[in-house]
C-alpha cells in the first residue's frame, strides 16, 4: 500500500516536471521574474541587516556620554573647564575633550570628518590600534600626525605619499603627516575620518586653546548612564547630553527609515508580482481547464490534479526562492550590495569601502517566504482546485 502511494506520488511528480517542461517558456519567464523580485527584496534585507549590525558593532566603541555646548540652538565650542566641573559627579570615570568637525575639500568636493582626540585617554582607545590597516596612532607631542580612513587615502591620493595640506579657516595651510590608515572593514565609520590629537584639530579649525567641540565621558557602571546623563544636564544647563544608547537608536532609526522607505518600494514590486500571478493563475486558460477535465475523465482524482499543480508551484517558487536568495547572498558578499549602497549609506562623496557580511534574521527569511512562495502556491493551486471540482464532462463537448 505504502509502495503504491510512493509510486503514485512519483508519477505525479513526474507528470508535474514534464508539464513544467512542456510550458518551459512561460515557466522560465515566471521563474526569472519571481527570482528577480526575491533577489531584490532579499538582498535589500540582507544589506540593511548587515549595515545595521556593523554600525552596532562599531558604536560599541563610542563614548558612553557625549556633552556638547549649545547656544541659540546651535552647537558651540565647550570650555575644558566644564569637564573639570563634571569630575565631581559620582560614577564618572573619565572626561576626555574631543574636537570634532567637518572639513570640506574644495578641490575634490569631499567632506572629511576631523576627529581630534587623545586615543590613549579614551576608554578602550589602545584597542583603536587594531582598527588600523597599517601605521600607528599619533603619539602625544607629535605635531601634525594624523590617521586617515581609506576614503581619504583614495580621495587625496595618499597611496604613495605621507604629507598633505589642508586649509585653515584663514586660508593658511596646515601640513599633516599620515601616521596610519584605518582598515577597510571599519569603513562605515572611518572612510572619511582624519584622526589627530586635539591640539592639531584645534589648530586646523582655529579653535582657541582651552576649548573642545564636545566632552566624551565614560562611566564606571553602564547601567548608570541615564542617571549620570541627567545629573550632567542639571549641572550644565547650557549643554546637550547624548548617551550611547541614544546614538545607537538614532543610527537604527536612520537605517530603519532608509530601509523602510526602500522596503515599501520593493514590497510594492512583490505585491505587483502576486497580483500578476493571481491574475494569471485565477483565470486558468481554456486549454488548462480542458487538460484538467481530460485528466479527471481518465481517472485522475481531484486530489491528484491538485497535487500536480502543487508540485509545479512548489518547484517554480522553490527554485525561484533559492535562486533569488543565492544571488542576493552573492550580491551582498561579493559585490558589496552595489545596488543598494547609495540608498542605505547615502550619496556621500566618500562612500565607505566596507565589505559586508550578508545577514538575514530568521523572521525576515520566513516573512519573505510567506510573502512570495505562499501567495504563488495559493494562486496556482486554488484555481486548479476550482476547475477540478466542477464536473469533468465539459471535456466531452457537445
Partner 1 sequence: MSAIIRCENLVKSYPADTRPVSAVANVNLVVEREDFLVILGHSGSGKTTLLSLIGGLTAPDSGTVLVDGVENWQQGDQALSVMRNSRIGFIFQFASLIPTLTVMENILLPLSFSQRPAGSRDLAEEILAQVGLADKAGSLPAQLSGGQQRRIAIARAFINCPDIILADEPTGDLDEETERDILQLFRRYNKNGVTFIVVTHNSELAASQERARVLMMRQGVLTEQDGEAGVAHA
| Residues in touch with partner 1 (CB under 8 A) | 4, 7-8, 11, 15, 18-19, 22-23, 287, 290-291, 294-304, 391-393, 395-398
Residue whose C-alpha is closest to residue 147's, from 171, 173, 111, 112: 112
Least gap, CB of 21 to partner 1 (angstroms): 9
Residue whose C-alpha is closest to residue 358's, from 340, 376, 337: 337
Kindly tell me which of 13 and 326 has the beta carbon lying closer to partner 1: 13
Least gap, CB of 338 to partner 1 (angstroms): 41
Kindly tell me which of 142 and 291 has the beta carbon lying closer to partner 1: 291
Least gap, CB of 30 to partner 1 (angstroms): 16
Least gap, CB of 298 to partner 1 (angstroms): 5
Kindly tell me which of 15 and 329 has the beta carbon lying closer to partner 1: 15
Least gap, CB of 250 to partner 1 (angstroms): 59
Question: Is 95:104 a contact under the CB 8 Å cutoff?
Answer: no
Kindly tell me which of 234 and 301 has the beta carbon lying closer to partner 1: 301
Least gap, CB of 32 to partner 1 (angstroms): 21
Q: Which three cell numbers stand for residue 311?
A: 508540485
Q: Which three cell numbers stand for residue 382?
A: 486554488
Least gap, CB of 36 to partner 1 (angstroms): 26
Kindly tell me which of 361 and 396 has the beta carbon lying closer to partner 1: 396
In terms of DSSP bridges, do strands 110-116 and 92-105 run parallel, antiparallel, or are they unpaired? Answer: antiparallel
Least gap, CB of 320 to partner 1 (angstroms): 22
CA-angle at 308, arms to 307 and 314, nearest 5°? 85
Residue whose C-alpha is closest to residue 184's, from 130, 132, 136: 132
Kindly tell me which of 28 and 272 has the beta carbon lying closer to partner 1: 28
Q: Which three cell numbers stand for residue 42?
A: 532579499
State the chain's maximal CA–CA distance in angstroms. Answer: 101
Kindly tell me which of 20 and 368 has the beta carbon lying closer to partner 1: 20
Kindly tell me which of 11 and 222 has the beta carbon lying closer to partner 1: 11
Task: Measure Cα distances from 24 to 18, 84, 273, 324, 380 in Å.
Answer: 9, 76, 19, 19, 16
Amino acid at each position: 500500500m505504502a509502495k503504491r502511494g510512493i509510486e503514485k506520488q512519483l508519477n505525479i511528480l513526474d507528470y508535474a516536471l514534464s508539464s513544467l517542461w512542456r510550458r518551459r517558456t512561460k515557466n522560465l519567464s515566471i521563474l526569472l521574474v519571481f527570482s528577480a523580485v526575491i533577489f531584490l527584496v532579499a538582498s535589500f534585507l540582507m544589506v540593511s541587516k548587515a549595515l545595521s549590525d556593523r554600525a552596532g558593532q562599531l558604536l560599541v566603541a563610542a563614548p558612553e556620554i557625549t556633552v556638547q555646548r549649545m547656544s541659540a540652538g546651535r552647537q558651540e565650542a565647550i570650555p575644558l573647564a566644564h569637564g573639570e566641573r563634571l569630575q565631581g559627579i559620582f560614577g564618572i570615570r573619565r572626561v576626555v575633550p574631543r574636537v570634532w568637525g567637518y572639513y570640506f575639500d574644495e578641490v575634490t568636493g569631499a567632506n572629511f570628518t576631523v576627529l581630534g582626540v587623545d586615543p590613549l585617554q579614551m576608554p578602550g582607545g589602545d584597542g583603536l590600534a587594531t582598527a588600523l590597516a597599517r601605521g600607528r596612532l599619533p603619539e602625544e607631542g607629535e605635531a601634525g600626525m594624523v590617521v586617515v580612513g581609506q576614503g581619504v587615502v583614495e580621495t587625496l591620493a595618499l597611496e604613495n605619499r605621507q604629507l598633505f595640506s589642508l586649509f585653515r579657516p584663514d586660508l593658511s595651510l596646515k601640513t599633516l603627516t599620515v601616521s596610519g590608515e584605518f582598515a577597510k572593514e571599519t569603513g562605515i565609520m572611518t572612510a572619511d575620518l582624519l584622526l589627530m590629537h586635539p591640539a592639531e584639530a584645534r589648530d586646523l579649525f582655529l579653535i582657541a586653546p582651552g576649548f573642545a567641540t564636545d566632552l566624551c565621558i565614560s562611566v564606571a557602571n553602564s547601567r548608570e548612564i541615564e542617571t549620570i546623563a541627567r545629573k550632567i544636564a542639571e549641572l550644565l544647563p547650557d549643554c546637550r547630553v547624548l548617551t550611547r544608547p541614544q546614538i545607537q537608536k538614532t543610527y537604527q532609526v536612520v537605517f530603519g527609515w532608509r530601509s523602510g522607505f526602500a522596503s515599501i518600494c520593493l514590497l510594492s514590486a512583490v505585491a505587483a508580482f502576486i497580483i500578476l500571478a493571481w491574475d494569471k493563475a485565477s483565470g486558468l486558460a481554456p486549454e488548462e481547464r480542458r487538460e484538467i477535465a481530460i485528466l479527471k475523465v481518465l481517472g485522475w482524482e481531484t486530489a491528484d490534479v491538485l497535487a500536480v499543480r502543487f508540485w509545479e508551484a512548489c518547484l517554480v517558487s522553490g527554485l525561484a526562492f533559492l535562486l533569488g536568495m543565492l544571488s542576493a547572498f552573492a550580491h551582498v558578499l561579493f559585490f558589496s550590495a552595489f545596488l543598494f549602497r547609495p540608498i542605505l549609506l547615502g550619496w556621500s562623496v566618500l562612500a565607505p569601502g566596507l565589505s559586508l557580511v550578508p545577514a538575514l534574521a530568521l523572521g525576515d527569511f520566513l516573512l519573505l517566504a510567506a510573502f512570495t512562495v505562499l501567495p504563488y502556491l495559493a494562486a496556482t493551486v486554488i484555481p486548479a482546485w476550482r476547475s477540478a471540482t466542477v464536473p469533468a464532462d465539459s471535456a466531452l463537448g457537445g
